[in-house]
Amino acid sequence: MTKSQFFTCLIILLSICYYSPLPLRADEKTGLSDGQSIYVPVYSYIYSGNREQPFLLTVTLSIRNIDPRQQIEISVIDYYATQGKLLKKYLDKPVILKPLESLRYIIPEKDKSGGSGANFIVEWKSGHFANPPIVESIMIGTQNQQGVSFTSRGREIIK
pLDDT of residue 6: 56
Judged against a pLDDT cut of 50, whether residue 22 lies above it is answered with: no
pLDDT of residue 49: 77
pLDDT of residue 143: 84
pLDDT of residue 11: 59
pLDDT of residue 8: 59
Q: Mind listing the pLDDT tens digit for each residue in 25-54?
A: 544 545 899 999 999 999 999 988 777 888
pTM of the model: 0.79
CATH 2.60.290.11 fits 34-157, yes or no: yes
CB atoms within 10 A of CB 28: 9
